[in-house]
Amino acid sequence: MTTTLVHFFELQKGVGVLEIIRPDALNALNTSVLQQLSAHIASLTRNQNLSVVILKSSGDKAFVAGADIKEMLDFSPTQAFEFSRHGQSIFKSISELPQIVIAQVQGFALGGGLELALAADFIVASQKAKFGLPEVGLGLIPGFGGTQRLVKRLGLARALEWTTSAEKYTAQVAYELGLVNRVVEPEQLASAVETIANAIAAQGPRAIRAAKRAAQAADSSGGELGYEFEAQLFASCFSGAESKEGLSAFVEKRKPDFRASGR
Ligand code: DAK
């Protein structure tokens, strides 16, 4: 029997919810989660009855703690490239959904988790949420389009600081930088998102779809090249010892030593 890792339901008329359910691994994105996500996205792409999709996850602690580090441990550069292109295409489909996608972020949105939130149209966060791209601490770079989308959202200089420092930022900082639309108290998060979703769903459905396409056209500079380049660079991270050290260190619950000889 297949475990349900991504669940979809209709919350109200015009509003759907897509929920990632993998709380024991802080909702980390493994191949099964991505496959189930992909299947739901494919059916949402054809769904004309919904104006809004709320993207959320299980548990209090994390929205999504990233791509599944344990699964990535044994990737070859070729597998990494395939995984990155597959992941990018899913995330691209999310950003191209006809509905307005709201990421409801209650806790850690790290690495692939932040990239997933960035693929949504906007983010509403709990005061307890934390955002960051810790991949360089694993000897990697973001692989799901985050290097591209964060630059668009924060500008080059800030995005580069986020991508290379591996620092975690509070919801308030993310709000001040324009990454997050609203920050609310943890117990208000679900109702705040629902209120925004219902307000959008009450408007003309065709107008909502047209408004999203028009806004995205204004934001479409850069094109495909950056994503392709990101996938190639992500794959190249797997051709040396550095990512092996970073990924193993996480699994073995120790600090990585990137400076040891031969790396
Ligand atoms: N993958 C797998 N398991 C994870 C995980 C992850 N990303 N994050 C947490 N877990 C697991 C932990 O291993 C632990 O499992 P057990 O030891 O209980 O079996 C469980 O979730 C609870 O985590 P902790 O015990 O660590 O909980 P703490 O409260 O102490 O810490 C934390 C919470 C979020 C600060 C910590 O778990 C953490 O630092 N997690 C890793 C965050 C991280 O580095 N994320 C970035 C992952 S790399 C790609 C595209 C994109 C990417 C990669 C490839 N392609 C398309 C190829 C992106 C890369 C990433 O996202």
pLDDT at 7 over 50: yes
Residue with the smallest CA separation from ligand 1 atom 15 is: 25
Is 112 touching ligand 1 by the criterion CB < 6 Å?
yes
Backbone angles phi, psi at 249, to 5 degrees: -60, -40
Question: Mutate which of 31, 64, 69 to test ligand 1's pocket (most atoms within 8 Å of Cβ)?
Answer: 69
pTM of the model: 0.91
How far apart are the C-alpha atoms of 13 and 123, rounded to whole Å? 21
Residue 105, CB-side half-sphere exposure with 13 Å CA sphere: 36
Residues in the chain: 263
Question: Order of strands across the sheet with 130-132?
Answer: 62-64, 108-110, 130-132, 168-170
- Round to whole Å and give the CA distance between 131 and 171: 7
Best-predicted range by mean pLDDT among 82-86, 205-209, 236-240?
A: 205-209
Candidate from 24-38, 80-94, 134-148, 194-208 with smallest mean pLDDT: 80-94
CB 76 within 8 A of CB 238: yes
pLDDT in tens, 39-54: 999 999 999 999 999 9
Whether 224 is a known active-site residue: answer: no
Query: What are the strands of the beta sheet with 6-12, ordered from one edge?
Result: 6-12, 15-20, 52-57, 100-105, 122-126, 182-184
Q: What integer pLDDT is reported at residue 203 of this predicted model?
A: 93
Closest C-alpha residue for ligand 1 atom 45: 66
Out of 115, 194, 230, 245, pick the active-site residue: 115
- Comparing C-alpha atoms, which of 89, 95, 108, 76 is closest to residue 234? 76
**pLDDT averaged over every residue in the chain:** 92
CA of 29 to the centre of ligand 1 (A): 9
Ligand 1 atom at minimal distance to the Cα of residue 75:
57
Q: Which pLDDT band, with edges at 50, 70 and 90, does 60 fall under? A: very high
In short, whether 98's Cβ falls inside 6 Å of ligand 1 is no
| pLDDT confidence bin for 29, thresholds 50/70/90 | very high
pLDDT at 74: 86
Report pLDDT for 255. Answer: 92
Known active-site residue 185? no
Question: Domains in the chain, please, with CATH?
Answer: 6-187 (3.90.226.10)
The distance of Cα 167 from the centroid of its chain, to the nearest Å, equals 17
| Least confident interval from 18-27, 65-74, 210-219, 238-247 | 210-219
Give me the pLDDT at residue 261, please.
45
Q: Give the pLDDT confidence of 121-172 residue by residue, as tens digits.
A: 999 999 999 999 999 999 999 989 899 999 999 999 999 999 999 999 999 9
Task: Give the pLDDT band (50/70/90) at residue 262.
Answer: low
